[in-house]
Amino acid sequence: MTTTTDSPGNGFASIPNDLDGIERLCEQLYTAQDSTIRKHAESVLFPLSTNPRHLSQGTMILENAK
């Protein structure tokens, strides 16, 4: 899986560049029984909705949505 990272030290984990990775995190966010897994998924996905630098990834998600 290819990943991109936000600035070092910002507290966010790597954001997957591939749609499968993002979909996996979304599934974990909404279905994982373990709160640690849900929190991790949320922390990785959060920049996609708040950081304009990730607009291309958001566009990719919408263009390739099932």
**Residue 47 structural domain:** 19-53
8-62 residue pLDDT tens: 444 556 888 788 888 899 999 999 999 999 999 999 999 888 888 888 877 878 8
Tell me if 44 is assigned to some domain: yes
Tell me if 7 is assigned to some domain: no
For the chain, the domain total comes to: 1
pTM summary value: 0.69
Helix or strand run (H / E) with residue 62:
helix 55-63
Residue 11: what pLDDT?
A: 52
Give the relative orientation of helices 55-63 and 19-31 as an angle to the nearest 10 degrees.
90
Q: What angle do CA 57, 29, 15 make, to 5 degrees?
A: 30
